[in-house]
Every structure is written in C-alpha cells, then in structure tokens.
Amino acid sequence: MIRTIVGLVIVLALSAIVISSVSDYSVPSELIGAGLNYTEQGVDDTGSVNLVTAVVVAYRGLDTLGEVVVLFSASTAVVLILTLIPIGANPTPPSSIVAFTAGILPGAIVLFGIYVITHGHLSPGGGFPGGAVVASAFLLVMLGSNTIPGKTKFLTSIESLAGLTFGLLGFWGMLTLGQFLNNLVLPAGSPGRILSAGIIPLISLAIGAKVASELSGVFASYRKAGGEE
C-alpha cells in the first residue's frame, strides 16, 4: 500500500515537472543546427539517400563503433552469467503451431532481414534492424525445435569477423584519406543506386552480421539455461 502511494506521488511529481517545463514550448516549423546541416549536405557528403543511415554510419560512425562494443560487452556478460545457471535438462516442447511455423517462415524472414541490411542507405533499415530480423528467424527455429542448442563457435567466429571488418574499414579511411571511418574511400556513386554511398553498405553488412550472430548467441544461451532444472 505504502509502495503504491509513494510510487504514485513520485510519478505525479515527475509528470508535473515535465509538463511545466514544456508549457511555453511552441510547435517548431524550421530545422536548426546540426539537423539542418545534415539535411542540406547529407546526400552530397555521403551519397546516402537515407539521412538517418548517413548520420549513423558516416557522420557519427565512431559512435556506432562504440555502440557495437556496448552490444558486444552486454552479450558477453549475458553468456557469462548464464554459465552460472545449470543447463536445463528438457526444454519446454513447442506447440504444434510454433513447430509448424518454424518449418516454413525462417527462410522468408532471413531474406527480408538481408534486404533490410543491404538497402540501409536507400530505405528505412540498416545493420541493426536487419540483424535483429535475421536473429528473430534463429529464435523461431530454436523455439520450434525440441533440443538444446550445442556449441555456438560458428556464431562467435562470424561475430568476431564482422567486428574486425568494421574496424579495418575504419583504418582503411585512416590510411588513404587520413580520417578514421571516412566514408568516401569508395566512390559515393549516384545516390539512390544499391552500389553507392561509399562504404556505408559494407559497414551495414558488417553490423548486420554482428548483430544477428550476437543476438542469436544470446538466444541460444537463454535456451540452454531454460527448461527444467
């Protein structure tokens, strides 16, 4: 009871502060600052039609490298902690609907994921969402099977290779153009084509492979620790 009242008071106070801070706020009509700059120069600078991808991979590529590192350390921690929990003896068997779906859908899901990864510079998407889509296909296969996944060395090696590719692409820019992760070591091409936008498609592929293998590894270790004790 006290817990509910305290929670309610804190939540109401928080919303009052937030609402009072935006009370003199009016609807903006023009872009300002960095957003305006990216919008005007983005396509010329990077060759990417999708400006969000241009910001994520080209302008703020170093931040994305850091983000990949965060994801890597989190997945490592998950796997590490789950080794403290004993491997489950018999995982819960899938229902017939899940088992049937897991036999049909994964191919189409992986295909869609690859489309999202490779068209990151043209349409909404990129390495992170596409990688998550591919990993969801792995999850479906795992939920549809009755067995505990074995060793995940294959996933780990894909993950390491993808991370290494990202770093090496960064150093390529450093060696040739004197700037880490410079996008234009490959020609920008004509915006809107699949082979354009410098190294953005390559980095998207690396990120996609890394995210897909990392999340699949996390799902596999979840599955191992699940089920009966």
Q: Interface with other proteins by CB under 8 A: which residues?
A: 3-4, 6-8, 10-11, 14-15, 18-19, 22, 27-31, 34-35, 38-39, 42-43, 49-52, 54-56, 60, 63-64, 67, 70-71, 74-75, 77-78, 81-82, 84-85, 122-124, 126, 128, 132, 191, 211, 215, 218, 222, 225
CB closer to other proteins out of 76 and 176 = 76
Residue 148 Cβ, how far from other proteins at the closest point, in Å?
Answer: 16
Residue 104 Cβ, how far from other proteins at the closest point, in Å?
Answer: 26
DSSP 126: -
Region class of 100: left (phi > 0), else alpha (psi between -120 and 50), else beta: alpha
CB closer to other proteins out of 32 and 97 = 32
CB closer to other proteins out of 3 and 153 = 3
CB closer to other proteins out of 14 and 174 = 14
Angstrom distance (rounded) from CA 47 to CA 62: 19
CB closer to other proteins out of 69 and 177 = 69
- Identify whether the C-beta of residue 198 lies closer than 8 Å to the C-beta of residue 46: yes
Residue 216 Cβ, how far from other proteins at the closest point, in Å?
Answer: 12
Q: At what angle do helices 200-225 and 127-144 cross, to 10 degrees?
A: 30
**Residue the block writes with tokens 């804190």:** 10
Residue 69 Cβ, how far from other proteins at the closest point, in Å?
Answer: 11
CB closer to other proteins out of 28 and 178 = 28
Residue 175 Cβ, how far from other proteins at the closest point, in Å?
Answer: 27
Residue 54 Cβ, how far from other proteins at the closest point, in Å?
Answer: 7
89 C-beta neighbours (distance < 10 Å), count: 9
Helix (H, G, I), strand (E, B) or coil at 168: helix
| Residue partners of 164: CB distance under 8 A and separation at least 6 | none
Q: Classify residue 224 by burial, with Cβ atoms within 10 Å: 0-12, 13-18, 19+.
A: buried
